[in-house]
Amino acid sequence: MNVTMFIPCFIDLLYPQVGISMVRILERLGHKVDCPELACCGQPAFNTGYWHESREVAGRVIEQLHDAEVVVIASGSCGAMIKVFYPELFAGTKHERMAQELAPKCYEFSQFLVDKLGVTDLGVSFPHTVTYHDGCHSLREMHIQEAPRQLMAKVRGLQLIEMSQTVCCGFGGTFSAKFPAISTAMGDVKCSLAEETHADYIVSSDSSCLMHLQGLIDKQGRSLKTIHLAEILAPS
């Protein structure tokens, strides 16, 4: 397949190894990967209510991705923006039709592997105890819950222990800066839930959530580690 990848801004700048892992995984599976140079899906402006400004960024994304055979997005939160929210953002504009046509072609990375390619076993090992954090956009906008777990089930030596509650990590994009006290409290609650599982790693398909949690972990000196699912699945 010709896979077009969308690499979000924070992966480009802060966690390039996540994007690199995804490219390597897809190429190992025999697919041709292209990463058009796009900066941002437009979610920050969209979430803050500046839909006009968001369209200025997102319009470029639609134009670049529209003709793709299939689009794989390296984050559940950008995935939700492109797949679920673009049709609403562009309703009544010249890009409306393109947004609607693009949506069914979009997948988050783990969703793409399992639901589209039918691949669950990448022949890797990760002999650690982990717990999984479902990013809210992945879970409730893209309805992804099983795919990451099916992938982890085939990782040799990986032991998954679920947290006792499913709850937002508290990042929420600009929320983390607008309401830092609440954001921190929510992150603390999440880290405590993770610690209760006695897992070594918090795994997620959303680097933005992990960035927030790792930031708290480092500041507080907790012993948890965070890692993106793609990094576990990448060929060594």
Q: Does 142 bind another protein (CB under 8 A)?
A: no
Binder to another protein among 163, 186, 224, 227 (CB under 8 A)?
Answer: 186
Q: Does 235 bind another protein (CB under 8 A)?
A: no
Query: CB under 8 Å to 98, separation ≥6 — which residues?
Result: 62, 63, 66, 90
Stretch that binds another protein, among 49-57, 92-100, 112-120, 155-163 (CB under 8 A): 49-57
Paired tokens of 115: 């639901």
Q: Does 172 bind another protein (CB under 8 A)?
A: yes
Q: Does 123 bind another protein (CB under 8 A)?
A: no
Residue 211 CB, nearest approach to another protein (Å)? 6
Binder to another protein among 6, 15, 107, 201 (CB under 8 A)?
Answer: 15
Binder to another protein among 179, 195, 222, 231 (CB under 8 A)?
Answer: 179
Q: Does 11 bind another protein (CB under 8 A)?
A: yes
Binder to another protein among 1, 29, 31, 51 (CB under 8 A)?
Answer: 51
Whether 6 contacts 65, CB under 8 Å: yes
Which spans of this chain sit near another protein (rule: CB under 8 A)? Answer: 7, 9, 11-17, 19-20, 23, 35, 37, 39-40, 44-51, 53-54, 56-57, 60, 136, 139-141, 165, 167-168, 170-173, 175-187, 189, 211-212, 214-216, 218-219
